[in-house]
């Protein structure tokens, strides 16, 4: 099926690893031109020729970073058709009382204001084209917060409202805004030292190897497995394509069929 993404210019933030990297690869496979953004893009390597793949090292937690990214993408490719807001931090906590003001501010500054900065920077270019798609990476934690992720969960809840605000204002002008909300996706955030998997192993009193099985049983995940970055990337490409041009202000859950308990 042709997603009509050939030669579209796509900005993917947080594209040096995990969901962002896999999504960038999928867009490139569809013939898009991709501008990859992260604090350090070197792990992504050279995914495609320079005429289709460009990168920028930048911290989206800094003021003016969104404008810098948009200007660089425009200078490189001449337009911006799609933005995938994906860059985020996800620090594991011992609980709500463990999180200081400074840690709350850091999480919100990257996870929420980073998305605000990027959206604000690309929308004028999309308005000039009278068309564009913005996809934000949310999380199931934004609907059902996890005790080990209080600040992350709150930031993801805010992203859902940000997307709806953008959709209400800009859909009449040809710019769609939607959210993909992953849950239980095994990326580097799970497996890194001190990551979510290590926190779960400590919580369950098991080894790291056994923590996934215990988690799947405890969460009663209908799919019976953890998701992959590719599962999320497929949803992002759908929302970027013409197949979803009547969808705006919505949230697509990529969560293996998980059902909230309340």
**Residue ranges for the chain with pLDDT beneath 50:** 262
**Domain limits at 210?**
186-226
Residues 6+ apart with CB under 8 A from 165: none
Residue 4 within any structural domain of the chain: no
Burial class of residue 66 in the structure, from the number of CB atoms within 10 Å of its CB (0-12 exposed, 13-18 middle, 19+ buried): buried
Q: Among candidates 125, 149, 122, which has minimal Cα distance to 135? A: 122
pLDDT tens per residue across span 69-96: 999 999 999 999 999 999 998 887 889 9
Residue 261 within any structural domain of the chain: no
What helix, strand, coil percent values describe the chain, rounded to 5?
50, 15, 35
For residues 94 and 136, membership in a common domain is answered with yes
Q: Which pLDDT score, from 0 to 100, does residue 259 have? A: 64
For residues 98 and 28, membership in a common domain is answered with yes
Residues paired with residue 136 on neighbouring β-strands, in sequence order:
85, 179
The single residue of 115, 152, 204, 238 carrying the catalytic annotation is: 152
Q: Number of structural domains, the chain?
A: 2
For residues 98 and 116, membership in a common domain is answered with yes
pLDDT tens per residue across span 96-134: 999 999 999 999 999 999 999 999 999 999 999 999 999
For residues 98 and 179, membership in a common domain is answered with yes
Active site residue 152: yes
Burial class of residue 76 in the structure, from the number of CB atoms within 10 Å of its CB (0-12 exposed, 13-18 middle, 19+ buried): middle
For residues 89 and 168, membership in a common domain is answered with yes
- What is the sign of the dihedral through the CA atoms of 203, 14, 231 and 44? negative
């Amino acid at each position: 099926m042709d997603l009509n993404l050939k030669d579209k210019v796509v900005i993917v933030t947080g594209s040096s690893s995990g969901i962002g990297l896999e999504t960038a690869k999928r867009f490139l496979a569809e013939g898009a031109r991709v501008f990859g953004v992260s604090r350090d893009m070197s792990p992504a390597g050279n995914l495609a020729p320079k005429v289709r793949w460009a990168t920028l090292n930048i911290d989206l937690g800094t003021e003016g970073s969104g404008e810098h990214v948009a200007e660089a993408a425009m200078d490189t490719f001449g337009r911006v058709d799609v933005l995938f807001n994906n860059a985020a931090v996800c620090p594991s906590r011992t609980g709500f009382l463990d999180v200081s003001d400074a840690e709350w501010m850091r999480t919100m500054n990257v996870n929420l204001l980073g998305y605000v900065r990027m959206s604000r920077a690309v929308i004028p270019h999309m308005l000039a084209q009278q068309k564009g798609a913005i996809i934000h990476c949310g999380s199931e934690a934004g609907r059902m917060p996890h005790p080990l992720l209080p600040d992350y969960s709150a930031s993801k809840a805010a992203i859902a409202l940000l997307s709806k605000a953008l959709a209400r204002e800009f859909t009449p002008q040809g710019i769609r805004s939607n959210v993909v909300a992953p849950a239980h996706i095994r990326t580097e955030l799970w497996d890194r030292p001190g990551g979510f998997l290590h926190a779960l192993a400590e919580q369950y009193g098991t080894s790291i190897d056994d923590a996934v099985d215990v988690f799947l049983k405890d969460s009663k995940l209908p799919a019976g497995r953890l998701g992959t970055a590719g599962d999320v990337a497929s949803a992002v490409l759908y929302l970027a394509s013409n197949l979803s041009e009547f969808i705006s202000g919505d949230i697509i859950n990529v969560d293996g069929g998980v059902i909230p308990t309340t």
